[in-house]
Structure 1
Amino acid sequence: MELRNRRVLVIGMARSGISAAIFTKKQGAHVTVYDSKNETVLEESIKELKKYEIAIQCGKKNIDNLLDFELMILSPGVPTDLSFIKEAKQVNIPVIGEVELAYQFCKSDIIGITGTNGKTTTTSLVGQIVTSYDSGSQIVGNIGIPFTSQLDKLDQGHFAVAELSSFQLETIKDFRCRVSAVLNISPDHLNRHKTLENYIEAKKNVFRNQSNEDICVLNYNDLECRKMAKESPAKVIFFSYEMELNEGVYFKDNHIMLSTGEMKTEVCRVEDLNILGRHSVENAMAAVAICFYAGIPINHIREQLIQFEAVEHRIEYVSTINGVRYYNDSKATNPDAAIKGLDAMQWPTVLIGGGMDKDSDFTDWVNGFEGKVKQLIVFGETADQIISTAKKIDFSKVIKVHNLEEAVSKAYMYADKGDCVLLSPACASWDMFNSFEERGDLFKKLVLDLKG
């Protein structure tokens, strides 16, 4: 892709948009960045862009001189059905995302990891295994590191280990992974994708451009993932928690096992892992498959698996206060992730949930409360919906509070020695916070403040 002297419009001033704008400017493009938010909200982003003499349009609904641009680059958070994006496509202005832009200039092979839940943990684990073996590889993507920001560090013979969201995948065109992975599928972001089918189609883009020389790692126990095997042009490698595989990675007798079809290897015991729950074992199995088929020696994989610590905000241990364990699972932004977080708890649980409404159904989550959740505390946009769901299945131990501060205070009162308090919201954070990280950080501060 040639960018020199091209007129490029970048949509969105979040991290990916800023990174894409700076990268294209350095490539010699004439760059404009647009965001509908006002200057006050975007003050820090504007300061960063002005360092590079990048043109800025913000605080308005319409884009000046839209038809003058030759390329449009979308930040992941920008819906693709906005009117000006449709207008650009109608006049054949190419519309791509930041990940596709990065691919066009990336010299390294790509490991692409997606799925509804477990992406960040698995990407972090794969990243630790790969980068500790090969210091020239980098971790990028939805994990909080824009792909374009790392291109100057990525050369041939190395890997870009990329966490990929459905938002990033829906705008790719040529993007191709050497190793792709789909960890699981459950309804999420339906307020953006409208239907589950659209969401799944976006996820499939992670392997659409692969060839039979590439690898696609799929979860055998997830029906939607198993169906994808028929559509993947790459060699499919399964991982399975529930059954022994002739080729792939599986769980047996409390061990993670690797089978190549000719040789079976015990990778490690589950007790050796520093992460909790079945979903964590599945993430570890996916990481083993990804790394082994990317060419990493099994001994190195084993060593790094055992050393790996839990990702921040994903069933993250915070502290024990008066005999009560506190866990931060703020990254559980949908019911399926929250189910996995609750399943990992081995003690009576005071559960804190609620947040932004993403058109989720909370029935399966609430159905898992009986015998495990001693008290549910909810706040945010979805509080009343969660309470209504709880009432329908006769779960009555639920109260509504105004904010996270009040939720932590109430949890402290309800929890007894030997219990745990779990923040696992089952909802996005954007009704009250800028991110799930901000929500999790506040929870940790509030918990540590309880110590006095």
Structure 2
Amino acid sequence: MILVYGLGRSGLGVLRFLRRRGLSARFYDDRPQEREVAEAMALGFAPDWALEGSYREVVAAPGVPLGHPHLEALRKRGAWVLGEAELAFRLSPTPIVGITGTAGKTSTTLFTAHLLRGQGLKALEGGNVDPPLVEVVDAAEVAVAELSSFQLERVHAFRPRVAVLLNLGVDHLDRHGSLEAYHTAKLNLLKNLTPEDALVYNEADPKVREAARSSPARLYPFSPGDDPRTSNLQAALQATRAYLDLLGRPLDEKALEASLRTLPEAPHRFQVFARKGKVVFIDDSIATRTAAVAAALRAAPAPIAWILGGEDKGADLEALRPLLPRVRVALAIGRDGPKMAASLGEGVEVVVIGEREGRKAMERAVAEALRRLEEGSVLLAPLAASFDQFQDYKDRARAFREAVFALGGEPWTPSTS
């Protein structure tokens, strides 16, 4: 018997994947949502709220830490804990292009799938980017998977045909406990590669380069540029070439040129989406690292009402101090927002949004921002994970957009700027 631990988009995707195969399972969630429970039961699965069943495997959602007491107890009773990437690899024959790194995963994943489709392959993206990998792997000719450290820390035999390692920086120290543990999780992407597989890697990152040179896989280095989008595109181009090489197919240069003219954009990455009078609203919900937030604070029109907070990942706020003169007010949401905002110093007004429910907190944050701004921008660049109040960063972005339009924001287009 299989236990699916954690619903949300990943857990529900796993249940649909299991149902297609006629496999029995039960489910559990620490914070069950009525709608998700109803959907799981409609699929034909029953809950195990007491966790009393005997399970061979536990498919744990990425948001559930491996050290969770319930997972520890299940392990002691003989269960093997894995994630959706491992499950997809084990139960589907579809080859996988696996992509990870501290920054650039989403864009590289979208670019790679787009370029492979342009070469005539039915490539579908999933994983950390919507939809879950298990939702696309059966329908794809090749699945392109964005893989977070949370997903990679629970793989065992997982082996992508093409692995893409973009960079190894600092992130998720709150979850992994140390930089070494975080990097170890990322490098799980490479641990099962063989000489029949390919590894695309950033030759300018010393840690990435060292890991690549010890891999038996065929190596495809790329050189990053100053523009992250260009760097991600270089990685995607190499991933496309590598997969075509594995198939023994040449690259169609004319098709590539056409694909490059229609590259997709990653959602919720510094998107100006609404305005109210002279105030614009910017959704950068994916900005959870210091470098990304710094870029957002530089680019957003001042004065800025900055919405930050959630689950602190160990971010370095000191590096943001030179940009704080652009900030009119910091609106602190979520579990760690007040602590994070307090460390900004006395030069920035801080408003602590105390509502515990995510959508109520976001609506109040937007309202407080509008009280203080006659021009400038309201920027959601949280510098923190979303799981304390939202399902994921996309759910947080939806809450922000809903609040903006509920309070009188109007859709923004370049012609209205």
* Bucket of the pairwise TM-score, normalised by the shorter protein: 0.7 to 0.9
Q: Is the 8 A contact 2:294 2:323 kept in 1?
A: no
From 333, 344, 357, the equivalent of 2:288 is: 333
Equivalent positions of 1:368-407 (< 5 A) are: 368-369=322-323, 373-380=326-333, 381-391=335-345, 396-402=347-353, 403-407=361-365
Residues 181 and 218 of structure 1 are in contact (CA less than 8 Å); yes or no, is this contact kept in structure 2? yes
Residues 383 and 233 from structure 1, CA distance in 2 versus in 1: closer, same or farther, beyond 3 angstroms? same
> Which stretch has the larger CA shift, 421-430 or 217-226?
217-226
Contact 1:375 1:398 in 2 (8 A): yes
Contact preservation (8 Å) 1:99, 1:147: yes
Deviation at residue 195 of structure 1 after TM alignment: 1.4
1:413-432 matches, cutoff 5 A: 419-432=376-389
Once the 2 structures are TM-superposed, how far is the Cα of residue 126 of structure 1 from its aligned partner?
A: 1.8
Distance in structure 2 (CA, Å) of the matches to 1:71 and 1:431: 26
**Which amino acid letter does the alignment assign opposite residue 130 of structure 1?**
L
1:64 partnered with 2:52: yes
- For residues 228 and 359 of structure 1, the distance between their equivalents in structure 2, rounded to whole angstroms, comes to 25
Structure 1: which amino acid aligns with 2:340?
Answer: I
- 1:205 paired with 2:188, answer yes
Residues 1:222 and 2:222 are matched in the alignment: no
1:439 aligns with 2:390: no
Question: Residue 353 of structure 1 aligns with which residue?
Answer: 307
The Cα of 1:53 is off from its aligned counterpart by 2.9
1:279·1:340 contact (CA, 8 Å) conserved in 2?
no
Following superposition of structure 1 onto structure 2, how do residues 97-112 of structure 1 map, counting pairs within 5 Å? 97-112=83-98
Q: Alpha carbons of 1:91 and 1:132: their partners in 2 closer, same or farther (altered >3 Å)? A: same
Identify if the C-alpha distance between structure 1 residues 91 and 352 changes in structure 2 by more than 3 Å, giving closer, same or farther.
same
The answer to whether the 8 Å contact 1:115/1:184 transfers is yes
- Alignment match, 1:3: none
Residue in structure 1 matching 2:265, options 302, 306, 310? 310
Hey, what does 2:33 align to over in structure 1? 42
* Alignment partners' CA distance in 2, 1:398 and 1:232: 50
CA offset at residue 118 of structure 1?
A: 2.2
Q: Take 1:346 and 1:220, find their aligned partners in 2: how far apart are those partners? A: 32
Q: Are residue 290 (structure 1) and residue 239 (structure 2) matched?
A: yes
Give the letter for the 2:13 counterpart: S
Q: CA deviation at 1:346?
A: 7.2
- Matched letter for residue 11 of structure 1: Y
- Give the Cα separation in 2 of the matches to 1:447 and 1:420: 12
Contact 2:306 2:327 in 1 (8 A): no
Aligned to 2:255: 300
1:189-217 CA-to-partner distances (Å, cap 9, x unmatched) read: 22321212111111001121112332222
How far apart, in 2, do the equivalents of 1:133 and 1:207 lie? Answer: 26
Secondary structure of 1:307's aligned partner: coil
Post-superposition CA distance 1:294-349 (Å, at most 9, x none): 22534433432332243221111214555555321011123233234345x27546
> CA 1:315/1:222 → structure 2, altered by over 3 Å: closer, same or farther?
farther
Q: Which residue of 1 aligns with 2:366?
A: 408
| CA deviations over 1:359-379 (Å, ceiling 9, x no partner) | 4133354145167x2434231
Structure 1 residues 349 and 129, CA gap change in structure 2 (3 angstroms): farther
Structure 1 residue aligned with 2:42, among 37, 45, 51?
A: 51
Which residue identity is paired with 2:236?
A
Select 1:159's aligned residue among 139, 142, 160. Answer: 142
Pick aligned residue for 1:147 from 130, 133, 139: 133
- Quote the residue 1:80 is aligned against: 66
Cα deviation digits, residues 155-181 of structure 1 (max 9, x gap)? xxx310111111111111111112111
Alpha-carbon distance in structure 2 between the residues aligned to 1:306 and 1:388: 45
Structure 2 vs 1, CA of residues 178 and 48 (structure 1 numbering), >3 Å: closer, same or farther? same
**Structure-1 residue corresponding to 2:248:** none
Checking the alignment, whether the CA contact within 8 Å between 1:119 and 1:183 is kept in structure 2 is yes
1:351–1:376 CA contact under 8 A, matched in 2: yes
Given the superposition, is the C-alpha separation of residues 399 and 131 from structure 1 closer, same or farther in structure 2, using an over 3 Å criterion? same
Q: Quick one: percent identity of the two aligned structures?
A: 28
Q: Which amino acid aligns with 1:50?
A: M
1:299–1:47 distance in 2 versus 1, CA, 3 Å: same
For residues 46-66 of structure 1, the C-alpha deviation after alignment (integer angstroms, 9 at most, x for no partner) is: 3223334323112x4xx1133
Q: Within the alignment, does 1:450 sit opposite 2:401 as a pair?
A: no
* Native 8 Å contact 2:307 2:378 kept in 1: no
Count of residues in Structure 1 that have an aligned counterpart in Structure 2: 395
How big is each residue's C-alpha offset from its partner over 1:24-78, in whole Å with a ceiling of 9 and x where there is no partner? 34434332222233xxx432233223334323112x4xx1133xx2322222222
The structural deviation recorded for 1:129 is 2.1
Could you say which residue in structure 1 is the equivalent of 2:230? 281
Is the 1:102–1:147 contact (alpha carbons within 8 Å) kept by the matching residues of 2? yes
1:240 aligns with 2:240: no
Which residue of 2 is the match for residue 245 of structure 1? none
Q: CA deviation at 1:428?
A: 1.9
Q: Whole-Å Cα distance in 2 between the matches of residues 442 and 14 of structure 1?
A: 16
Q: Would you say the 8 A contact 1:105–1:151 is kept in 2?
A: no
SS across alignment from 1:32: strand
- Give the SS at the match of 1:173: coil
Q: Which has the higher contact order (CA 8 A, sep 6+)?
A: 2
Offset of residue 139 of structure 1: 1.4
Task: Specify which of 17, 42, 45 is matched with residue 23 of structure 1.
Answer: 17
Query: Structure 1 residues 421, 84: closer, same or farther in 2, change over 3 A?
Result: closer
Distance 1:410 1:112 in 2: 42
- Give the secondary-structure state (helix, strand or coil) at the position aligned to 2:314: coil
1:292 is aligned with what amino acid?
R
1:82 Cα offset (Å): 3.0
Instruction: Check if 1:96 corresponds to 2:82.
Output: yes
Q: Closer, same or farther in 2 for the Cα pair 1:288/1:351, shift >3 Å?
A: farther
Q: TM-score, normalised by structure 1?
A: 0.77
Q: 1:95-120, CA deviations, whole angstroms, 9 ceiling, x for partnerless residues? A: 32121111012222211111222222
Q: Is the 8 A contact 2:313 2:385 kept in 1?
A: no
SS of 1:77's partner is: coil
In structure 1, distance between residues paired with 2:74 and 2:234: 43
